[in-house]
Amino acid sequence: MDTITQLVTIAAVLLGSLTTYATNQLVERSKRRELRRVRWDEKKLDAYAEYIGRVRAVIHANVLLYEVREEMRAMPRSEHDLAMDLTDATAAQAIAFERVMLLAGDEVVNSAHAVQEATAAIGWHARGVVAGTLDEWRARNAAAFGAINLFHQRARADLGVSGSFEGEAHSARGLLLPGTREAE
């Protein structure tokens, strides 16, 4: 073999090696990026689920306190104890909210703020900080569940989950709140 043929062969081998190396690096970078995205999506899902769980716990604590305070339900626990439970649940919700703030995009964060405002309004009513009728109580709860539904929609979009439950069909299912005493 002459020298030129050997040099062309060596150049082709070097070019093939460099191309293979560059392609492998790009594939590995893409894999790392995808793993990082999946890992963050898992963290987001955990944060969103925990937050909504905490929100629901706060709403439940609000309902118990309101019903006992309004004498709609008798419980062996005092109003003070129920208010303390609500305080603890609200603190846990605030911590979960902060985690959402760290991980979520703007739309999810904005909808989480709306949930925070709606559940705070329910809490003020349940504690008697603001006065209101049973119908106003129901309206505050309906607003909170509307905010929760919007949070679900935005969280699903952020996570790339397909499908939708937005609109009247889902919200028309109603709230599980007690009827008035006159209805009994």
Given this model, what pLDDT does residue 9 score? 85
Buried b (16+ CB within 10 A) or exposed e, 30-60: eeeeeeeeeeeeeebeebbebbbebbebbbe
Per the CB < 8 A criterion, the answer to whether 131 and 170 are in contact is no
Given this model, what pLDDT does residue 181 score? 52
Residue in the block written with tokens 């339900």: 73
Residue in the block written with tokens 């790392």: 32
**pLDDT tens digits, the chain, 184 residues: what are they?**
688 888 888 888 888 888 888 888 888 888 777 766 666 788 999 999 999 999 999 999 999 999 999 988 888 889 999 999 999 999 999 999 999 999 999 999 999 999 999 999 999 999 999 999 999 999 999 999 999 999 999 999 998 888 766 555 555 555 555 555 554 4
42-183: CATH number: 1.20.1420
Q: Hey, where are the domains in the chain?
A: 42-183
Given this model, what pLDDT does residue 110 score? 96
Per the CB < 8 A criterion, the answer to whether 73 and 64 are in contact is yes
Q: Across all residues in the chain, what is the average pLDDT?
A: 86
